[in-house]
Amino acid sequence: MNPSFSHKLQVAIQNDVPFVLFRFPDESTIQLNVQDDSGKNRFLLHAFDSTIEKSISDADPIQILQSEFQFDSKLDLKHQEWEDSISKENYEQLIQKTIDEIKGSAIQKIVISRKKMMENKGFDLFQTFKNLLEQHPRALVYFWNRPGEDTWIGATPELLLQQSGNQVQTVSLAGTKRPEKDWTEKEIEEQQFVTDFIAHEFSDFKNLKISGPETVQAGKFQHLKSYISAEISESFDLNLLLKNLHPTPAVCGLPKKEAFDFILKNEGHDRGFYSGYIGIERENSKTYFVNLRSAAFFQNQIQIYVGGGITAESNPEKEWEETELKSGTIANALAQ
């Protein structure tokens, strides 16, 4: 492997300096940021409830071909008081409560999630990251480590916002099924909610284009995806758009405020960085992804976050199965 890349990573680990490794969808290079105080080339994690945003900046980031990436090192992860997973029965009760809330109110969709806990049997996180890169070539794959603070690994299929010059683009991603099944009205409707919400947020821009939805693969299952793009003026404040988009109905619900309040009150856990966003900010471009298919790693435990969109048509048992399926993205990549 490129000696300067592995050296930089090794030195960061030895000195307990935060680092993040990441690869953009459809790209073949892995980038490395080792934290400095430049504020340049930020890679950031922004919490679902917007209470926390952390970034790792690097004035001099370095990259390597994915095919050359090989790194062997053990990190000292933070210890976490053991937490139990929510049982299938309790999760299905929560889903039923959510369905009843939707049926008895003006809320159309609420995204509910859970934390699936696994024992950390000393997994090799660099190999786990490598497995994710190979298994999910179309995802943004990242490995974030701030010693003594937080360690997250994920492979998200969902773009939140990309800006390059005066072009902005995003996607509407929702609905989940196994490849052998057909889409039903339930998934078609829940994805349309997301498209309509984004189209509304983009409605004042020039050259608004919406295409899709089409079926896309995300590991072993599929989603519905539409593509949305537009042109913004020079003076436009991208942060405002980001603030209006997040959290989209793909991870929160509709109407946003009511769904958000229901989640905070009923879900029973702090989502942390899950379903918040990941930002990659450079001089000429800014790209944000929804932080899905991700997990927090501790010395003794792995907490995989998974959720799904609930509408009046949802079935609690199917929702449990959907979250099991989604947890496979991380679980199937874990390496000894």
Ligand X SMILES: C=C(O[C@@H]1C=C(C(=O)O)C=C[C@H]1O)C(=O)O
Which residues of this chain interact with ligand X, rule CB under 6 A?
111, 113, 158, 173-176, 223, 250-251, 292-293, 306-309, 326
Give the angle 39-42-47 at the CA atoms, nearest 5°: 115
Helices (H), the chain: 3-14, 88-103, 125-135, 185-201, 238-245, 256-266, 316-331
- Give min distance, CB of 319 to ligand X, in A: 9
- Give min distance, CB of 2 to ligand X, in A: 33
- Give min distance, CB of 139 to ligand X, in A: 11
- Give min distance, CB of 275 to ligand X, in A: 6
- Give min distance, CB of 190 to ligand X, in A: 6
CB nearer ligand X, residue 58 or residue 158? 158
DSSP designation for 244: H
| CA 255 and chain centroid, separation | 21
Integer Cα distance of 193 and 172 in angstroms:
9
CB nearer ligand X, residue 210 or residue 216? 216
Give the list of residues 6+ apart from residue 314 with CB closer than 8 angstroms, or none. Answer: 95, 98, 99, 186
Q: Are strands 253-254 and 109-119 parallel, antiparallel or unpaired?
A: antiparallel
CB nearer ligand X, residue 58 or residue 322? 322
230 beta partners = 168
Closest CA to 149 of 69, 100, 86, 77: 77
- Give min distance, CB of 173 to ligand X, in A: 5
- Give min distance, CB of 336 to ligand X, in A: 25
The tokens for 228 are: 């949305």
CB nearer ligand X, residue 44 or residue 111? 111
Integer Cα distance of 21 and 33 in angstroms:
7
Integer Cα distance of 68 and 202 in angstroms:
40
With beta carbons less than 8 A apart as the criterion, state whether 112 and 305 touch. Answer: no
CB nearer ligand X, residue 158 or residue 267? 158
CB nearer ligand X, residue 58 or residue 187? 187
CB nearer ligand X, residue 8 or residue 271? 271
With beta carbons less than 8 A apart as the criterion, state whether 140 and 25 touch. Answer: yes
